[in-house]
Amino acid sequence: MQNETNLFTPNQLQGIELRNRIIRSATWEGMADAEGQVTGRLVEIYRQLAEGGVGLIISGLANVVPEGNAFPGCLGLFKDQQVEGIRQLAEAVHDAGGKLCLQLGHGGGQCSSKSAGTQPVAPSAIKVEQYPEEPRQLSQDEIGETVVAYAAAAKRARQAGCDAVQLHAAHGYLINEFLSPHTNQRTDQYGGDIDGRSRFLLEIVSAIQEAVGKNFPLLVKLNGSDNLEAGLQIDESSVVAKKLDAAGVAALEISGGTPASGDQVPVRRAHESGDEMAYNVVLSRTIRQQVRCPVIAVGGIRSLHVMTGLLRTGQADYISLSRPLVREPDLVNKLQNKQSEKATCISCNGCLKAALKGNFRCILDD
């Protein structure tokens, strides 16, 4: 575990030279084209984030297979023709002094037939609240093919010049669906207890490490809790975290919730009681006590006071922000230069509604 707690001190994350401990958490911008290709507008967003001082930028989710598409405008990295666009993203970030981590994922049962182009797939053929329709159960052969697809996408990310990749194993997407007893009711080797339900994730980790080498940093975004009575809970997510740590992952970003989690969904609106709520910290703190790899706190973090406090008290090793950087891509520079003590983001989620219309931005500035 790293002892340096200064938010703005340069550091290394499994060999990546970072200029600070602030990370841009993966954010769906909805600005890739219909083929999952990078657009000029997307490159400009990433350039601004890097120029604004963010140490590590985690991209919006890049689908590892076409049928894993849950939202319009998502990136894709399932074919070689998509590498050049990702290279443009990486170059823009590097030219501005930042680092780029590409998030890899699959929407699973949270896809629709319309978004995926076919009936969605999931660990089990059951209809739960977070799914728009009943999915088809993945066969064991298809699970193996999906593992290979993740590894191939990671290899393309490295070829494109990305500094790392992150697996999206949270928020009710496919990997999280395997981890959760709420969505995984399989009776084969990929179901049952947490050892079986984590097999898919660990096979992906192993396949990626074989494809790109263990020295290429692999991060994982993990639900500490699904915030559902029948879902993944902190005791089992802690077991998964320790397995990932033992496998040599570079860092764990601990989030929580699914679209079916009521007022505890992954992206929560501001509460009247205040906006410095850091609502996943109880989860990240618990897991940080059990692993050696760095842990990233994310969710509702808005002020410099809270950021530095989380590092100083050992509750996290890095701070991850999403919505605040939509309104203020230069927020990190403002905080470091003492031009600001707090993000102006009010967690209204208007930026996400704008992304649905293909015009990702902070609507408060309209």
Buried b (16+ CB within 10 A) or exposed e, 253-273: bbbbbbebbeebbbbbeeeee
Query: Would you state the structure tokens that stand for residue 73, as one six-digit string?
Result: 């405008």
- Among 88, 87, 71, CA closest to 34: 71
Q: What is the dihedral of CA 26, 200, 238, 217, to 10 degrees?
A: -50
- CA distances to 111, 331, 351 from 66, rounded to whole Å, are 11, 34, 25
Do residues 350 and 365 touch, judged by C-beta distance below 8 A?
no
CA–CA distance, 65 with 16 (Å, rounded to integer): 28
Active site residues: 173
Strands 62-63 and 99-105 come out as parallel
CA–CA distance, 215 with 218 (Å, rounded to integer): 9
CA–CA distance, 152 with 290 (Å, rounded to integer): 31
Backbone phi, then psi, for 164, in 5-degree steps?
A: -170, 170
Q: Give the residues across from 137 on adjacent strands.
A: 122
